[in-house]
Amino acid sequence: MEASTTGTNNSVVDPNDLLVIDDVKKHFPITRGIIFQKQIGSVKAVDGVSFSVKKGETLGIVGESGCGKSTLARCIIKLLETTGGQINFDGRDITKLSRSTMRPIRREMTMIFQDPYASLNPRKRVGAIVGEPLEVHNLGSASEIKTRVQELLEVVGLNPEHYNRFPHEFSGGQRQRIGVARALAVNPKLIVCDEPVSALDVSVQAQILNLLKDLQDDFGLTYIFIAHDLNVVRHISDRVLVMYLGKVVEIATRDVLYKEPKHPYTGALLSAVPIANPELGRKREPIVLEGDVPSPVNPPSACNFHPRCPRFVEGHCDVEEPPLYSFGNGHVAACHYALERWPMDASEIRRASASRAPEPEPEQPLPA
Partner 1 sequence: MALLEVKDLRTSFHTEDGIVGAVDGVSFSVEKGQTLGIVGESGSGKSVTCLTIMGLNAKRNTTSSGEAIWKGKNLLTTKPRELREIRGNDISMIFQDPMTSLNPVHTIGKQLIEAVQLHRDVSNRVARARSLELLKAVGIPYAERRIDDYPHQFSGGMRQRVMIAMALINDPDLPIADEPTTALDVTTQAQILTLMKRLQEEFGSAIIIITHDLGVVAETADDVLVMYGARVVEHASVEELFNRPQHPYTWGLIGSLPRLDIDVERLIQIPGQPPSLLRPPRGCRFHPRCSYVMEVCKTTVPELLPTQREPDHLQACHLDEETKDREAAKLLESMMAEAG
* Least distance CB 333 / partner 1 (angstroms): 18
Within its chain, how far is the Cα of 318 from the centroid?
26
Asked if 72 and 25 count as a contact pair (C-beta separation under 8 A), the reply is no
Closer residue to partner 1 in complex, CB, 248/257: 257
Helix (H) or strand (E) holding 106: helix 99-106
Closer residue to partner 1 in complex, CB, 186/204: 204
Closer residue to partner 1 in complex, CB, 131/310: 310
Helix (H) or strand (E) holding 26: strand 17-32
Asked if 220 and 58 count as a contact pair (C-beta separation under 8 A), the reply is no
How far apart are alpha carbons 231 and 229 in whole angstroms? 5
* Least distance CB 269 / partner 1 (angstroms): 6
Tell me which residues touch partner 1 (CB under 8 A).
64-65, 171, 173-174, 201-207, 209-210, 213, 228-232, 234-236, 258, 268-282, 284, 286, 288-289, 291-293
- CB count within 10 Å of CB 364 equals 16
* Least distance CB 116 / partner 1 (angstroms): 13
* Least distance CB 167 / partner 1 (angstroms): 15
Residue 317 phi/psi, 5° resolution? -65, -30
Asked if 173 and 200 count as a contact pair (C-beta separation under 8 A), the reply is yes
Closer residue to partner 1 in complex, CB, 19/180: 180
Q: Which residues pair with 222 in a beta bridge?
A: 190
Closer residue to partner 1 in complex, CB, 140/172: 172
Asked if 179 and 112 count as a contact pair (C-beta separation under 8 A), the reply is yes
Closer residue to partner 1 in complex, CB, 13/275: 275
What would you report as the CA-atom Rg of the chain, rounded to the nearest whole angstrom? 22
Name the pairing type of β-strands 190-194 and 109-112.
parallel
* Least distance CB 297 / partner 1 (angstroms): 14
* Least distance CB 85 / partner 1 (angstroms): 26
